[in-house]
């Protein structure tokens, strides 16, 4: 991941009424050729003030830049029931299985 200090881009953030949260917006061209802001999640029209935020502020709203955040094992819920198991008994390795030291 690039150093956060080196990311100088700004991202358009606005409140989406349909999602009821601050969202990234994208620019869409209407049938009339006019530019319209839309929610990147639900494609609803976004009306209101656009706030231009840096990468750090964008991550504070729940988005991330670069590699996804690290998760605990399995799905990341922390329950442990779907985490990778090291005890596989006598079952032969499956295609794609790799052994990793702890």
- Strand, coil or helix: what is 4? helix
Domains of the chain, by residue range, sit at 8-84
- For every residue of 23-90, DSSP letters joined together read EEEEEEE-TTS-EEEEETTT--B--S--EEE-HHHHHHTT--SSSPPP-SSTTSSS-STTSPPS--TT
Query: 94 vs 63, which has greater pLDDT?
Result: 63
pLDDT in tens, 39-87: 999 999 998 899 999 988 999 998 988 777 776 656 655 555 565 544 4
Q: What is the pLDDT of residue 64?
A: 84
Give the residue from 5, 22, 94 showing the smallest Cα distance to 56. Answer: 5
Q: The whole model's pTM is what?
A: 0.57
Q: What is the pLDDT of residue 38?
A: 96
CA–CA separation, 79 and 100 (whole Å)? 22
């Amino acid at each position: 991941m690039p150093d956060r200090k080196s990311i100088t881009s700004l991202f358009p953030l606005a409140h989406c009424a349909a999602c009821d949260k601050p969202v990234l917006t994208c620019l869409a061209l209407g049938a009339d050729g006019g530019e319209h802001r839309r929610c990147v999640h639900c494609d609803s029209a976004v009306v209101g003030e656009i706030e231009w935020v840096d990468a750090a502020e964008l991550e504070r709203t729940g988005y991330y830049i670069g590699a996804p955040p690290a998760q605990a094992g399995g799905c990341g819920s922390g329950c442990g029931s779907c985490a990778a198991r090291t005890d596989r008994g006598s079952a032969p390795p499956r295609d794609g299985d790799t052994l990793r030291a702890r």
